[in-house]
Amino acid sequence: MVDGMHKGHGRSNAKVGAGHVVETQQFDRETIEKLFKLADSLEGVREESLKGKIMAALFYEPSTRTRLSFESAMLHLGGSVITMENGSESSSATKGETLEDSTRVVNHYADVIVMRHPEAGASARAAAVSKVPVINAGDGAGQHPTQSLLDLYTIRRELGRTDDIRIAFVGDLKYGRAARSLGYLLAKFKNIHMTFVSSEALKMGDDIKTYLKKHKVTYDETEKFEDAMHKCDVMYQTRIQKERFASQEEYQKFKGVYIINRKLADSMKKGAIIIHPLPRVGEITPEVDDSPHAVYFKQVGYGLLIRMALLKTILGGRKMK
């Protein structure tokens, strides 16, 4: 299965060796389905299958949620964790060590590296020199493949399928990594229609649209939020990221445009779901939380299962010495 992860679709990278999880495109459908079945089987499980194995969480920018999720996943499987929480201020980085050298060093300390980095391509650079698998836990404007996998897994768990999906993406589609990455991943499935709901200034980029056309995914663009809510199977709400805007004024302008309130949630089709990569800061109002459509907190639990499944797949094959 580890091999199956690296058949290299999309802009996959020849330098990426066995076991690395660098970008969403590297997964083929068969591998994804195996991974999801494994995730299903790990629900509620605490085991010792990774006893003696060590995961290094190397976070060059803070991301508490993602870090705790990976660490918890490793501990659920009986493994151990070493952590660098804010690597950009770490002694090695401050002293001027390259990412490649840091990776070569940590290779001696851990069996797998989970890496978060503010620069796109950082994980691929690390993977290119690493002797142990590198899992990309978000690299700036680049990718966050385990987020896409858990988004898709949430859809599969809640809708019971990964084909025949009408999905709407809302919010910051220009800068938001999560929506873009899931777009790439869904393109591997059948009969997918995407609706992009955004302000003109935050529209989905042309690169992904070209990719979708090539992979026979249909899409439309609209500013009509209500209409998209009625029609979709999946509403992917995202946070307008304050840190992406030059001024507080500009941020405020876009922040309030697309908010899901209870009335809008209630207008959704039966069985339709609202997902969100979290944290939310107002783009879904609290009274939506107990709507049957709201699955964004269950999504966190699905994310734990996906990360457990990935760690188990990557590390389980190697025997404890």
Q: Give 52 or 292: the residue with its C-beta nearer to its own copies.
A: 52
Interface stretch with its own copies, choices 141-149, 176-184, 207-215, 236-244 (CB under 8 A): 236-244
Residue 65 designated active-site: yes
Q: Give 12 or 63: the residue with its C-beta nearer to its own copies.
A: 63
Q: Give 21 or 106: the residue with its C-beta nearer to its own copies.
A: 106
Q: Give 166 or 255: the residue with its C-beta nearer to its own copies.
A: 255
Write down the least CB distance from residue 68 to its own copies, Å: 5
Write down the least CB distance from residue 225 to its own copies, Å: 22
Fill in the per-residue mask, 64 to 103: x = in contact with its own copies (CB under 8 A), - = not in contact.
xx--xx-xx--xx-x-xxxxxx-x-xxxx--xxx---xx-
Give the C-alpha separation, 111 to 127, whole Å: 13
The catalytic position among 37, 51, 65, 190 is 65
Write down the least CB distance from residue 320 to its own copies, Å: 6
* DSSP conformation class of 267: T
Nearest residue to 154 via CA among 45, 36, 280: 36
Residue 144 designated active-site: yes
Residue 11 designated active-site: no
Sign of CA dihedral 69, 74, 80, 86: negative
State the number of binding residues for its own copies (CB under 8 A): 55
DSSP one-letter string for 277-292: -S--SSSB-GGGTTST
Buried residues in 89-114 as b, exposed as e (16+ CB within 10 A): ebeebeeeeebeebbeebbeebbbbb
273 counts as binding its own copies under rule CB under 8 A: no
Give the C-alpha separation, 51 to 71, whole Å: 14
Fill in the per-residue mask, 246 to 265: x = in contact with its own copies (CB under 8 A), - = not in contact.
--------------------
Give the C-alpha separation, 26 to 12, whole Å: 6
Write down the least CB distance from residue 83 to its own copies, Å: 8
> What phi, psi does 272 have (nearest 5°)?
-70, 150
The vertex-44 CA angle with 41 and 47, nearest 5°, equals 80
Single-letter amino acid, residue 125:
R
Largest Cα–Cα distance of the chain, in whole Å?
58
139 counts as binding its own copies under rule CB under 8 A: no
Interface stretch with its own copies, choices 179-187, 202-210, 226-234, 299-307 (CB under 8 A): 299-307
* DSSP conformation class of 260: B
Q: Please, where are the H alpha helices in 29-144?
A: 29-41, 64-76, 91-94, 99-106, 122-129
Fill in the per-residue mask, 35 to 64: x = in contact with its own copies (CB under 8 A), - = not in contact.
---------xxx-----x-x-x----xxxx
Contacts of residue 235, Cβ cutoff 8 Å, sequence gap at least 6: 167, 168, 170, 228, 229, 260, 268, 272, 273, 274, 275, 293
279 counts as binding its own copies under rule CB under 8 A: yes
Write down the least CB distance from residue 102 to its own copies, Å: 8
Write down the least CB distance from residue 57 to its own copies, Å: 10
Q: Give 102 or 198: the residue with its C-beta nearer to its own copies.
A: 102
Element (H, E) at 157: helix 145-159
The catalytic position among 6, 125, 144, 180 is 144
The Cβ of residue 86 has, within 10 Å, a number of other Cβ atoms equal to 11
- Catalytic residues, by residue number, are 65-66, 95, 116, 144
Q: Which residues sit at the interface with its own copies, rule CB under 8 A?
A: 44-46, 52, 54, 56, 61-65, 68-69, 71-72, 75-76, 78, 80-85, 87, 89-92, 95-97, 101-102, 104-106, 108-110, 239, 241-242, 278-282, 297, 300-301, 303-304, 320-321
